[in-house]
Amino acid sequence: MTTVGIHDIALATGHYALDLAELADHMGIDVQKFYVGIGQQIMSVPAADEDVVTMAATAARDILDRNGADGIRTILFATETGVDQSKAAGVFMHGLLGLPSSIRVVELKQACYSATAAIQMAAAMVARDPSERVLVVASDVARYDLGSSGEPTQGAGAVAMLITADPAILALDAATGVFTADISDFWRPNYRSTAIVDGKSSVTAYMDAVTGAWKDYRSRGGRAFEDLVTVCYHQPFTKMAIKAHRQLAAANDVRLTPPEAAEALADTIVYNRVVGNSYTASMYVALLSLLDHRDDLAGQAVAFASYGSGSVAEVFTGVVQPGYQDAARTARTRETLDARAPLDYTGYVELHEAAEPRDGSAKDLPVTTKGRYRLAAYADHRRIYVDTETAA
């Protein structure tokens, strides 16, 4: 039987890295609250000339360079940081990447969950016609108000994935578990550039939704908890995954202490700890981290616990394929993370408070990013993107 799943995966992130010690210093609090209490060390911050489109294009470029574009007839762009109310961010990306016109492009939204919906839709498309490959991109910038409780859980990143038949990395299982509840734990009204969050209730809502999705997964014939090598969780902050893992274990009559749960997830949290919340991309950053830090995964089943506030959750599983490791991919991910420029508190506040024009007036953006794709300017109510390798 043909398997369907993740054939390749690539990460991009913002130009800057803000060590949370900068934030703790400014707030006059013990940095261990961030490093240990929420399990976050660094957050990625995009430069003024970067956004979800440029990060997505950078991640997708790696996928195209390694795999070509043949057979790609669909691009699913998952984000909750949309750059336009009508035009899909993926259409800008399609242009930047110089892809052929015989491709459908659409944007998906449901907080941090929508990349998982994109994967499930992509898998169905490939199952219908195994000659097709679907490019799924998850790209987000997490922003909360300065001084808010969510501030240390900001971040930015994009993950691009190629969904194909006979995948090289992860073959998806057919069983999935889903859960939806209409709640207000985290949301961003159209008139705001930062999210509103009820932090404490969002933590409980996350755990309840994941447990609900797990129960549905099991009722649909999903694997037993003890048959999973680990779980990649949505990681708004890495401590969240550890809390959720303890609750999921308990729902399966397995009692884990916090250190035991942390140990079980250790390989999945290395990258998120230094990227921050990348919303839709976060759980797939966890997968990248796992692939790069374990060499014994071939043939093993991994679970994924996806959560998007509001709320929708999904649990699904897949089997890691022999030969999943790729030294070049790992090196590229580490190079991406290491290339970030350190940012101090003053620079962070400047970027945080910079607003894009709301009246259509022209604004050129300073050249900062070292990436190939830039948001060069705003003009006439438009966003002007450039590919620096082809621009005249």
Q: Is 25 in the site for ligand HMG (CB under 6 A)?
A: no
| Residue of 92, 304, 307, 378 interacting with ligand HMG (CB under 6 A) | 307
Whichever of 116 and 277 has its CB closer to ligand HMG, that residue is 277
293 given a catalytic annotation: no
Cα 177–chain centre separation: 20
We find the least distance from the C-beta atom of residue 273 to ligand HMG, in angstroms, to be: 14
Q: Is 186 in the site for ligand HMG (CB under 6 A)?
A: yes
- Residues 368, 32: Cα–Cα separation, whole Å: 31
Angle at which helix 20-27 crosses helix 345-353, to 10 degrees, equals 90
| Residue of 117, 197, 281, 343 interacting with ligand HMG (CB under 6 A) | 197
Whichever of 104 and 192 has its CB closer to ligand HMG, that residue is 192
List the interface residues with ligand HMG, window 116-155 (CB under 6 A).
149-150, 152-153
We find the least distance from the C-beta atom of residue 27 to ligand HMG, in angstroms, to be: 10
- For residues 135 and 7, the answer to whether their CB atoms sit within 8 Å is no
Name residues whose C-beta falls within 8 Å of residue 286's C-beta, 6 or more positions apart in sequence.
Answer: 232, 233, 234, 235, 241, 268, 269, 271, 272
Q: What are the structure tokens assigned to 321, written together?
A: 């394929």
Cα 258–chain centre separation: 25
| Residue of 89, 126, 240, 319 interacting with ligand HMG (CB under 6 A) | 240
Whichever of 3 and 114 has its CB closer to ligand HMG, that residue is 114
232 given a catalytic annotation: no
112 given a catalytic annotation: yes
- For residues 288 and 268, the answer to whether their CB atoms sit within 8 Å is no
Q: What are the structure tokens assigned to 130, written together?
A: 């195994």
- Residues 110, 321: Cα–Cα separation, whole Å: 29
For ligand HMG, the binding residues (CB under 6 A) are 30, 32-33, 36-38, 80, 111-112, 149-150, 152-153, 185-186, 197, 199-200, 202-203, 206, 234, 236-237, 239-240, 277, 279, 307-309
Report the catalytic residues.
80, 112, 234
